[in-house]
Structure 1
Amino acid sequence: MPTLSSSVIDPLWHQFQALIPARVDTHPLGCHRRRVPDRIVFTKLIDRLVLGGAYTKHADHRVSATTLRTRRDEWITAGVFATLEQIVLEAFDKIIGLNLEDLSVDGCCVKAPCGGENTGPNPTDRGKSGQKRSVLIEGNGIPIGVVLAGANRHDSRLLEPTLECLDRLPFSRMPESICVHLDAGYDSKKTRDLLGRLGCQDRISPKGEFIKINHTRRWMVERMNSWHTRGFRLLQVVLDRGTAAQEAFVQLANAIIVLKRLLKEAWSTHRWESRPVKGYHWR
Structure 2
Amino acid sequence: MSYNVTSGKILRAVHPTTEETMIIHEISDDFWCKVEPLLAPFKRTKSGGSPPRDFRSILNGIFYVLKTGCQWHFLPPCYGSKSAVHEHFQRWAHAGVFAEIFRLYAQEYHALKGIQWEWQAMDGTLLQAPVRGQPVCLAEEGLGRNPTDRGRSGSKLHLHVEQQGVPLAIELVGANVHDSRLVSPTLALDVLPRPAPTTEHPQHLCLDKGYDYARVDTEVAEKAYVPHIRRIGEEKTTAGATTQPARRWVVERTIAWLKGFRAIRTRYTCLGVNFRALVDLACALILSGKLEAACS
TM-score by structure 2 length? 0.81
Structural mapping, 1:163-202, within 5 Å: 163-166=187-190, 168-170=191-193, 173-176=195-198, 177-202=202-227
Give yes or no for the alignment of 1:259 onto 2:288: yes
Q: Which amino acid in structure 2 is aligned with residue 20 of structure 1?
A: L
Q: CA deviation at 1:143?
A: 0.5
Structural mapping, 1:207-218, within 5 Å: 207-209=232-234, 216-218=246-248
Deviant stretches of 4+, over 4 Å = 23-27
Q: Which residue of 1 aligns with 2:14?
A: none
Q: CA deviation at 1:21?
A: 3.1
Taking only the aligned residue pairs, the percentage that are identical comes to: 28
Whether the 8 Å contact between 2:143 and 2:173 is mirrored in structure 1 is: yes
Q: Which runs of 5+ in 2 are unaligned?
A: 11-25, 238-243
Whether the 8 Å contact between 1:56 and 1:64 is mirrored in structure 2 is: no
Q: Which has the higher helix share?
A: 1
Q: Which residue of 1 aligns with 2:114?
A: 97
Q: Which residue of 2 aligns with 1:11?
A: 30
Q: Which residue of 1 aligns with 2:271?
A: 242
Give 1:224's match in structure 2, choosing from 254, 269, 277: 254
CA distance, structure 2, for counterparts of residue 61 and residue 147 of structure 1 = 34
Q: Which amino acid in structure 2 is aligned with residue 49 of structure 1?
A: L
CA distance, structure 2, for counterparts of residue 102 and residue 132 of structure 1 = 23
Q: In the TM superposition, what whole-angstrom CA distance separates every residue of 1:75-118 from its partner, at most 9, and x where no partner exists? A: 22332211111111111111111111111000000111105621
CA distance, structure 1, for counterparts of residue 292 and residue 236 of structure 2 = 33
Q: Secondary structure at the match of 1:5?
A: strand
CA distance, structure 1, for counterparts of residue 63 and residue 235 of structure 2 = 39
Taking structure 1 as reference, are residues 13 and 182 closer, same or farther at Cα in structure 2, changes over 3 Å only?
same
Whether the 8 Å contact between 2:61 and 2:79 is mirrored in structure 1 is: no
Whether the 8 Å contact between 2:120 and 2:203 is mirrored in structure 1 is: yes
CA distance, structure 1, for counterparts of residue 295 and residue 227 of structure 2 = 32
Q: Which runs of 5+ in 1 are unaligned?
A: 268-283
Q: Which amino acid in structure 2 is aligned with residue 238 of structure 1?
A: R
Tell me the matched-pair count. Answer: 261
CA distance, structure 2, for counterparts of residue 119 and residue 56 of structure 1 = 23
Whether the 8 Å contact between 1:49 and 1:249 is mirrored in structure 2 is: yes
Q: Which moves more between the two structures, 42-51 or 202-211?
A: 202-211
CA distance, structure 2, for counterparts of residue 24 and residue 143 of structure 1 = 31
Q: Which amino acid in structure 2 is aligned with residue 195 of structure 1?
A: V
Structural mapping, 1:146-161, within 5 Å: 146-161=170-185
CA distance, structure 1, for counterparts of residue 274 and residue 247 of structure 2 = 31
Whether the 8 Å contact between 1:120 and 1:131 is mirrored in structure 2 is: yes
Whether the 8 Å contact between 1:101 and 1:139 is mirrored in structure 2 is: yes
CA distance, structure 2, for counterparts of residue 146 and residue 200 of structure 1 = 19
CA distance, structure 1, for counterparts of residue 192 and residue 272 of structure 2 = 23
CA distance, structure 2, for counterparts of residue 188 and residue 96 of structure 1 = 35
Q: Which residue of 2 aligns with 1:206?
A: 231
